[in-house]
Amino acid sequence: PDALQDFCVADTSSSTIFMNGLPCLNPNQVSAKNFTTSVLSSAGNTSGNPFGVSLKTTTTQFLPGINTLGLIMARVDLAGLSTLASSTPTNKLFSAEIKTGDVFVFPRGIIHFVHNIGNTPASVIAALNSQAPGNSVIPLATFASNPAIPNQVLAKSFQINIAE
């Protein structure tokens, strides 16, 4: 549904009127600083995890004016050139090598990945159509869930025997 007002700048110090779980600032107290952030202006640390990826987002913590707008912006930094791809429910892979300024759209809810094929760092700016998007790292969700997915289920899903 559309928002009831044009904007609702998040006010984390109040608890009166809530929109998306956060109270709104009085519109008379809103300024340009509520709609501006530099959180995406610098590269993230890609060596801090085994995937070589850093993700920064413009959540209401860093950009209060984004509250109720139904989106966030993100910066993905990759340790190299990048290949972006998504796979449809019919198992069709859409993949492209992208260059500076190129755009690649991931359909909502479709499994996708980003892979840096070069030797130099790469960055992606993304628009996500949710104020609080979720994500799953497929290998971790599959093989490191708690409780664990039973081996029989994994073997059947991957069409292998348990010993494999």
Show binding-site residues for Mn(2+): 112
* Structure token digits, residue 84: 């972006």
In angstroms, rounded to a whole number, what is the distance separating the alpha carbons of residues 86 and 92? Answer: 8
Q: Is 26 in contact with 10 (CB distance < 8 Å)?
A: no
- Which residue type, as a one-letter code, is found at position 129? N
CA–CA gap between residue 105 and residue 89 (Å, rounded) = 16
User: CA torsion angle for 49, 55, 60, 65 (degrees, to 10)?
Assistant: 160
Contact 87, 112 (CB under 8 A): yes
Summarize the annotated binding site as residue ranges: 112
